[in-house]
């Protein structure tokens, strides 16, 4: 599908940011939607560095309430208030998000200048005619969600075949497009012969979690899987202890789920000098893997 999904990695560090890696935040742009996934400390400045306008943010998806994923929220919300943000801002998160968000707004004495709608989500939670968003619980010691964005597939007319058929443009074509067979001058035309399916794209985001049985199914057939990889495979015990994934596990998930492309993020300072260690381990299992960098842009 000729879609315009643009991902900007605003922050790719784990708990401790470094000179090169900011706390977690990813912006997914699709038409008028600008969906921010997590908002670690410093996200506002990352917006500026990426030459993106934070006022265009439409929704914020919170994976979980560890500081490295949410410490940038109060600052961003305040900036939006001071800059005349006049839309409703939707904030989605796992169980507990409503209580924690209310606490955060109170703590920073947030003056209500625009509408903020907070929703604790699970399963499919938002849908338009073009796409939908889904959440799934992960295992990270506290409530934690993985998310995916999926564009809806569309039935399109095969223009070459249509021209050959000699059918006139107009309401009959709309009927074909909606999957109905038509009759024209006593001849029957089957929708399946004159149309094709334009498959929508799926982008999945799995940040902090212990390896669990839900992941593979949830991210199945993604065009892009963004997955945390906090530990190298030799530290699997440590990853388990801290409820995180290893490079090897991320690769295995991508392979089993038959995703097209894997992007690793949430990198530890431990690998600052040698991030290839993580990437090479993953690539042994899943070839089409890359390592996210701050301000990296991926168009799908």
- Sites of contact with Zn ion (CB under 5 A): 66, 68, 208
Using the structure block, give the residue that is written with the tokens 């169980």. Answer: 95
Closest to Zn ion by CB, 33 or 68:
68
Least separation, in Å, of the C-beta of 255 and Zn ion?
Answer: 24
What would the two tokens of residue 143 be? 């409530």
Closest to Zn ion by CB, 120 or 208:
208
Q: Is 11 helix (H, G, I), strand (E, B) or coil?
A: strand
Question: From CA 227, how far away is CA 263, in angstroms rounded?
Answer: 6
Active site positions, annotated: 68
Residue among 220, 223, 219, 221 at smallest CA distance from 209: 219
Least separation, in Å, of the C-beta of 285 and Zn ion?
Answer: 23
Question: From CA 58, how far away is CA 80, in angstroms rounded?
Answer: 11
Question: End-to-end alpha-carbon separation of the chain, Å?
Answer: 9
Least separation, in Å, of the C-beta of 137 and Zn ion?
Answer: 14
Least separation, in Å, of the C-beta of 144 and Zn ion?
Answer: 7
Question: From CA 226, how far away is CA 135, in angstroms rounded?
Answer: 14
Closest to Zn ion by CB, 68 or 150:
68
- For helices 73-82 and 97-107, give the axis angle rounded to 10 degrees: 60
Closest to Zn ion by CB, 68 or 294:
68
86 within 8 A of 116, measured Cβ to Cβ = no
């Amino acid at each position: 599908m000729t879609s315009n999904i643009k991902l900007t990695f605003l922050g790719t560090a784990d708990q401790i940011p470094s000179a090169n890696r900011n706390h977690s935040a990813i912006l997914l742009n699709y038409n008028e939607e600008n969906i921010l996934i997590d908002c670690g400390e410093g996200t506002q400045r990352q917006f500026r560095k990426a030459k993106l306008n934070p006022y265009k943010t439409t929704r914020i998806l919170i994976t979980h309430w560890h500081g490295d994923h949410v410490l940038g929220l109060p600052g961003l919300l305040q900036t939006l208030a001071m800059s005349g943000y006049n839309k409703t801002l939707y904030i989605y998160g796992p169980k507990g998000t409503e209580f924690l968000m209310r606490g955060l707004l109170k703590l920073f004495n947030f003056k209500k200048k625009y509408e903020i709608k907070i929703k604790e989500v699970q399963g499919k939670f938002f849908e338009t005619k073009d796409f939908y968003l889904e959440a799934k619980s992960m295992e990270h010691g506290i409530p934690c969600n993985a998310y995916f964005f999926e564009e809806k597939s569309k039935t399109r007319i095969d223009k070459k075949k249509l021209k050959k058929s000699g059918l006139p443009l107009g309401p009959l074509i709309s009927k074909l497009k909606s999957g109905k067979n038509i009759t024209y001058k006593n001849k029957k035309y089957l929708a399946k012969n004159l149309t094709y399916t334009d498959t929508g794209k799926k982008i999945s985001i799995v940040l902090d979690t212990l390896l669990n049985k839900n992941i593979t199914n949830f991210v199945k057939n993604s065009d892009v899987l963004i997955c945390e990889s906090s530990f190298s495979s030799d530290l699997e015990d440590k990853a388990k202890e801290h409820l995180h994934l290893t490079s090897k596990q991320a690769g295995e998930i991508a392979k089993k789920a038959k995703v097209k492309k894997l992007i690793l993020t949430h990198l530890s300072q431990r690998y600052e000098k040698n991030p290839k260690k993580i990437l090479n381990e993953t690539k042994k299992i899943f070839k089409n893997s890359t390592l996210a960098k701050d301000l990296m842009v991926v168009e799908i």
